[in-house]
Amino acid sequence: MLMPKSAAMLLSVLATEADSNARFSLYLNAILECRTNNPATAVKLAQASHQEFRDVATLMTLSEALTWNNEPKAGLLRAKEALELAIQRQALVNYAAGNLVRLSVKTGSVETVNEALEALVESTQVPRDGDCVLEADWSDEAEALGADMELIS
């Protein structure tokens, strides 16, 4: 797999690293290094990362990498899986819901955005152990697409 030298260096460190937090960080940085110039490699690295950690964050990273690689439907599928996993684990629900809406906006489909917004609204009723504040950086773009204003608000 061809990748930027910086990503290759990160992976060489990853090969000998045992600490899971350090491994998570090395994967993430290598994925980000491949984002622009080699998104297919970013997908492969994101898949490996998710295979190892099987958590909400790596599933979201995979959804983004698929989108970077011009696979928006596959990215949305993984984003939905991430939200379902977040709901199941009762953690990172806002983070996963925001990611789903953000990726749905990138499709340019009002129907897809409205479906993601409905999932976001439903997720607000889920009990959770901890979460971040829901980001709404996608709201202007969703509105410009013609998404349901009631769902946006």
pLDDT score at 2: 58
pLDDT of residue 1: 52
| Residues above pLDDT 70, as percent of the chain | 99
Q: What percent of the chain has pLDDT over 90?
A: 85
Alpha helices for 15-71 (secondary structure H) = 20-34, 39-53, 56-68
Question: Once rounded to an integer, what is the mean pLDDT over residues 111-117?
Answer: 97
Q: What is the pLDDT of residues 5-39, one digit of tens each?
A: 888 898 899 999 999 999 999 999 999 999 999 99
pLDDT score, position 5:
87
How long is the chain?
153
| Lowest pLDDT segment from 60-69, 76-85, 112-121, 128-137 | 128-137
pLDDT at residue 25 in the model: 96
- The strand pairing partners of 91, in sequence order, are 130
Q: Which of 7, 117, 1, 102 is nearest to 60 (CA)?
A: 102
In 3D space, the residue among 86, 28, 33, 89 whose CA is nearest the CA of residue 58 turns out to be: 28
Q: Give the pair of three-digit tokens for residue 57.
A: 């964050």
The sign of the dihedral angle between the CA atoms of 92, 88, 137, 40 is: positive
Q: What's the whole-number mean pLDDT along residues 65-87?
A: 97
Mean residue pLDDT of the chain comes to 94
Neighbours of 91 (CB within 10 A): 17
Q: Can you give the pLDDT at residue 68? A: 97
